Chains A and B, each alone.
Chain A
């Protein structure tokens, strides 16, 4: 391993600009003549728009224009779309409502934009927005997914009965029923997977500029996948043809899924920029982010596990209602279906599984992928079921897991996925050692002497990452292929630029991708630059989500590097007057086998460009190669997280005293960055388990609409973490990588709740397990049961 190669904890290239305040986020970009867009948003969750009067707003100082949904429709700007088709069990396609970027006629959630003010300054825009008069006829709202399908529930979209988007299922219902009928033990749980607000620290922003001379539009935005944004905005929304639109996602301050999606505001800024012929910028304030960023999770589930007397799992059954909010966001349909039910086998050999999912509209913000996307929900179901089953059957939870772990690979689950490699017992064993499970009983006694209830909870999770073979996702309804692209440009001086379709918004690609190239080409780490996030520079890319940029994005780079090496060998052969087959490449040097002739990588690069040693008929000058890599399978990161915590008996306050994570991510390029990803994921999962929850009141008002009301994890809410790895290589990609971005968020909620329920001796607790919730659960557990 070289100092900066694969496996080294290289310090990040991108950090200098961030620690010196020189990052370039969308709101930092300023264009000449820039104006500000301020949106007029609905204060009602569900209402008819009877009229909009913009006349007073138009006369306010600094106002350039005020635009409404009627004008947007008049200009034939199309709807935002959901790009993943799901069919109901009766074969009918999902019911996608219209989703105009500015509402016309009706609003369906608080924060729905009905008009936009374009003004010289944000303050002037805000003043004017207050003068826009909207006459609403308020309608009853529904916010609870479990009530959305009820008879008499408010009808949100006129042509979609019972607010039901689809009624989907997966698995063999009859086989599962037979297994349950024969089971000696059945564990049943009712689970609410709480609704979360992603809250990347950089609020979403968009800056659109129109060049009248060329009729080109440029959009700077906070996107995890600028090419997909360009595709949707051109081909579906119809703002302008794809080749007339450039999308640039510069430094992006966190995403966690919420910046995958195509949002109304970027469409409106583009449309308005062309109308007012000046650049138009919008930057969300945090209140807007709470109201309009796609939220995550929000499932209501009944889950059952059937076991025989020896603790062998026979079958799993789940019925879930998934809340998708007022409109279907870009990939929302896939999250509670193919990213959820396909993971219900967990790490276990389960002969049969059946899952039904109803997706519903409610008068709330759209819900889509948030770190883990479906897989945290699946893991929570599986890991709560097995922990509770173990307790009910009087078995140690790790022992019940061990009896059911998949041990032979490849393993075909009954829910589509074919696991290709793993060693689940190895990660659990290592985690139990690090967590000192053997000493737990003693620590529990000591805690009790201090008035604390101590608990230990496990979560042995699995996820499907890489997202994924295009043919596979296409057969499941995806509207796009999910490959990745890379272009390797070797300059005449031997330095290298990598153009990647992956997008970094905190993951450190400028460092890890350069580590790969430096090791592979034997050139200095500092001679490699990574270019991403600009549709004018990178030809196409699918972006970063689903822990895919290592397994898929870096694999594309590997394929392009293979081509670079092959071409460079031809150039070297001409240079050294040798047969191409005799050229060897190692440590940045081309040698002729069996001789002392050699040429450095930089010399070969120069010769490729000056082309003095060969004619164009023999070999094309230049050294630049492109590859599109389509994986052959998902990857399956897996591992074991163990949470140890104390509960204060008097207050119910939970204090996490120890956290152990042992993950199998396959090949690790940079352990420092991987550990950082795990830390951040755990924090988000602990946030979900202990404090976070988006709450709407019955009128559809978002009660938790700011950081004062929505509890974000702070430094003092968390411990330091013990993080380790085990390794089985992913056989489906050339580097053996599996992906690490989501694991922490997937694993951790179940570990926390399993630890709390272990401590209090009752399964009667829901997320978020706030001090109040835990204290109440303790009182319920103490109360004598009614006869």
Chain B
């Protein structure tokens, strides 16, 4: 066992983990933050995307110990403390960008990284191209693309 400390959604956390523990396991099992999902074991589906020091990362292929001292944001940390939703969360609801909800946290976290990289005026081609690391089996992506475009615009306001 080793001890790891990091900041998750603004709170300092410490835990004892086996060195092989993945960040996603640490989040889900140690911290009980189960919004971050596991949809594959080859780093393709993106259900586990979180932000590591502000940049999107796949928590299924990151060791918890690699995140010593890092700042992690998960889907649970996006809304304001008073419960007000992040504009990207609102956009997914408004544009029916989710069905079963399983890929959704990863989609939203990836969407925010697309905005970080490309700004608030996104075209359809950019969104589709840069969602390469996330798989959705329900929506056919049509409404996810619309949600990200609208969410990005709303974030500029």
Contacts and interface: CB of A to CB of B under 8 A. Distances in A.
Contact of B100 (A11, A203, A252): A252
Interface stretch (B29-37, B51-59, B64-72): B29-37
A158 interface: no
Interface string A22-36: 111101101000000
A527 interface: no
A105 interface: no
B138 to A, nearest CB: 5
Nearest to B20: A123
A722 to B, nearest CB: 10
A201 B85 contact: no
Nearest to B148: A715
Nearest to A29: B34
Contacts of A285: 38, 40-41
Contacts of A20: 35, 75-76, 78-79, 85, 89
Interface stretch (A271-279, A326-334, A671-679): A671-679
B140 A718 contact: yes
A253 B143 contact: no
Given A11-B94, A16-B93, A714-B131, A21 B75 contact: yes
Contacts of B102: 23, 25, 200-202, 253-254
A684 B75 contact: no
A286 B40 contact: yes
Contacts of B32: 30
A201 B96 contact: no
B47 A201 contact: yes
B85 A19 contact: yes
B96 A12 contact: yes
A15 interface: yes
B139 A22 contact: no
Chain A interface mostly? loop
Contact of B37 (A16, A202, A673, A715): A202
Interface in B89-118: 89, 92-94, 96, 98-105, 108
Nearest to A289: B40
B39 A201 contact: yes
B18 interface: yes
B124 interface: yes
Given A202-B39, A287-B41, A682-B140, A18 B98 contact: yes
A720 to B, nearest CB: 5
B134 to A, nearest CB: 8
Interface in A246-291: 251-254, 256, 285-287
Interface stretch (A374-382, A438-446, A705-713): A705-713
Nearest to B132: A714
B128 A28 contact: no
B89 A506 contact: no
B128 A715 contact: yes
Contacts of A684: 137, 140
A623 interface: no
Contact of A19 (B28, B37, B38, B108): B108
B6 interface: no
Nearest to B124: A720
B104 to A, nearest CB: 5
Contacts of A251: 100-101
A711 to B, nearest CB: 11
B98 A19 contact: yes
Contacts of B140: 679-684, 713, 718, 721, 744
Contact of B141 (A15, A28, A718): A718
A683 B99 CA distance: 14
B124 A15 contact: no
Residue from the set B28, B98, B100, B132 with the largest chain A CB neighbour count within 10 Å: B100
A252 B132 CA distance: 24
B55 to A, nearest CB: 19
A679 B93 contact: no
A507 interface: yes
A649 B44 CA distance: 30
Interface residues of A, number: 58
Nearest to B135: A712
A665 to B, nearest CB: 17
A347 interface: no
B129 interface: yes
Nearest to A686: B140
A715 B99 contact: no
B135 A714 contact: yes
Contacts of B18: 123
A505 interface: yes
B101 A253 contact: yes
B11 to A, nearest CB: 15
A716 interface: yes
Contact of A21 (B96, B105, B145): B105
Contacts of A7: none
Nearest to A9: B96
B136 interface: yes
Given A251-B101, A676-B96, A716 B129 contact: yes
A680 B44 CA distance: 19
Nearest to A14: B101
Nearest to A708: B42
Given A287-B41, A718-B140, A506 B20 contact: no
B101 to A, nearest CB: 3
A15 B92 contact: yes
B104 A19 contact: yes
A508 interface: yes
B105 A201 contact: no
B144 interface: yes
Contacts of A286: 39-42, 45
Contacts of B34: 21, 24-25, 27-28
Contacts of B28: 28
A754 interface: no
A194 interface: no
Contacts of A627: none
Contacts of B41: 285-287, 706
B122 interface: no
A708 B44 contact: yes
A231 to B, nearest CB: 25
A199 interface: yes
A253 B143 CA distance: 18
Contacts of A199: 137
Contact of B44 (A18, A19, A22, A707): A707
A85 to B, nearest CB: 32
A780 to B, nearest CB: 32
A507 B98 CA distance: 10
Given A202-B37, A715-B128, A680 B138 contact: yes
Contacts of B120: none
Interface string A626-644: 0000000000000000000
A130 B136 CA distance: 33
Contacts of B45: 201, 286, 707
B131 to A, nearest CB: 4
B4 interface: no
Nearest to A707: B44
Nearest to A254: B100
B144 A715 contact: yes
A675 B34 CA distance: 29
B154 interface: no
The 5 closest A-B pairs by CB, nearest first: A21-B35, A253-B102, A18-B101, A506-B100, A683-B140
Interface of A: 11-12, 14-25, 27-28, 30, 123, 199-203, 251-254, 256, 285-287, 505-508, 672-673, 675-677, 679-684, 706-708, 712-716, 718, 720-721, 744
21 contacts: A18-B101, A18-B105, A20-B35, A20-B75, A22-B35, A27-B38, A123-B18, A201-B102, A202-B39, A505-B100, A508-B99, A677-B99, A680-B139, A681-B140, A684-B137, A707-B44, A712-B137, A713-B140, A715-B141, A720-B145, A721-B142
Interface of B: 18, 20-21, 28, 32-42, 44-45, 47, 74-76, 78-79, 85, 89, 92-94, 96, 98-105, 108, 124, 127-129, 131-132, 134-145
